Amino acid sequence: MASSDIAGRGMFITFEGGEGCGKSTQVKRFAARLEASGRKVLLTREPGGTRLSELVRSLLKDEREDPPCDRAELLLFLAARAQLVNNVVLPALEAGTWVVSDRFSDSTFAYQGYGRGLPLDVLRMANDFACAGLRPDRTVLLDADPAVTLARMRSREAATATEADRIERAGAEFHSRLRRGFLEMAAAEPDRISVVDASGTPEEVEGRIWKSLKLSP
């Protein structure tokens, strides 16, 4: 049990992993399960979750004429995060609400650090500043072979008549660097980050996540 579970402050739980591994599917299932267990829950996503942060999200996903350089991309992600933490996440946690976020800081380390090659020490310092020092209590890393997740993304694009966004279109080598980065971070912080096998049905993955977090009933 994490200390925040005892003290009456909400717990902050984040879901991470590469494109199409099932984060958005699983955060909804997890939040519903937490609510059913009697906790007050706020579900949010990154980048997004406030009006300003959602505007930044659309810039990050869709800008094709003047795509952000790596440093601008980092700062846009961090601006969206600072607004979300300040206006949504911290007030909710202080009020005793549990906050579940579809992506958070580990995505920055994976994408901008391991993926784009920006220095990790700079990312950690800038990210801590953006978050006012807030770190997740627990993190679920959904891990799957990129071939599995690529197939899921293609079927999602077909089902929703959408195209892959700017980051999703990055090559296979980029995506395998991301996976390696996420797994390295999980190995470095095993008490916070639970690696969950994202293959199988949504029900199977949901069960694995709940078990891995070992929350009190």
Ligand X SMILES: Nc1ncnc2c1ncn2[C@@H]1O[C@H](COP(=O)(O)OP(=O)(O)OP(=O)(O)O)[C@@H](O)[C@H]1O
- Angstrom distance (rounded) from CA 120 to CA 113: 6
- Told to check if 58 binds Mg ion by CB under 5 A, we report no
Of 167, 173, 185, 180, the closest CA to residue 60 belongs to 167
- Told to check if 19 binds ligand X by CB under 6 A, we report yes
Residue 119 touches which of ligand X, Mg ion, none (CB < 5 to 8 A by kind)?
none
Nearer to Mg ion, 23 or 138 (CB): 23
- Angstrom distance (rounded) from CA 107 to CA 111: 6
Residue 25 touches which of Mg ion, ligand X, none (CB < 5 to 8 A by kind)?
ligand X
Residue 205 touches which of Mg ion, ligand X, none (CB < 5 to 8 A by kind)?
ligand X
Q: Restricting to residues 105-144, name those near ligand X by CB under 6 A.
A: none
Nearer to Mg ion, 24 or 58 (CB): 24
- Angstrom distance (rounded) from CA 173 to CA 142: 19
Nearer to ligand X, 76 or 178 (CB): 178
- Told to check if 156 binds ligand X by CB under 6 A, we report yes
Phi (first) and psi of residue 139, to 5 degrees: -135, 135
- Told to check if 25 binds ligand X by CB under 6 A, we report yes
- Told to check if 152 binds ligand X by CB under 6 A, we report yes
Residue 202, token pair as written in the block: 């949504």
Residue 73 touches which of Mg ion, ligand X, none (CB < 5 to 8 A by kind)?
none
- Angstrom distance (rounded) from CA 212 to CA 140: 8
Provide the CA 170 distance to its chain's centre, in angstroms. 18
**Maximum C-alpha span of the chain:** 50
User: Which position's Cβ is nearest Mg ion?
Assistant: 24
Phi-psi region of 195 (alpha: psi -120 to 50; beta: other; left: phi over 0): beta
Residue 192 touches which of Mg ion, ligand X, none (CB < 5 to 8 A by kind)?
none
Nearer to Mg ion, 24 or 37 (CB): 24
The amino acid at residue 155 is: S
Taking the complex as a whole, the smallest distance from the CB of residue 119 to Mg ion amounts, in Å, to 27
Q: Restricting to residues 8-27, name those near Mg ion by CB under 5 A.
A: 23-24
Taking the complex as a whole, the smallest distance from the CB of residue 20 to ligand X amounts, in Å, to 4
Strand (E) positions, the chain? 12-16, 41-45, 98-102, 138-143, 193-197
Which residues here bind Mg ion, judged by CB under 5 A? 23-24
Binding interface with ligand X (CB under 6 A): 17, 19-25, 152-153, 155-156, 200-202, 205
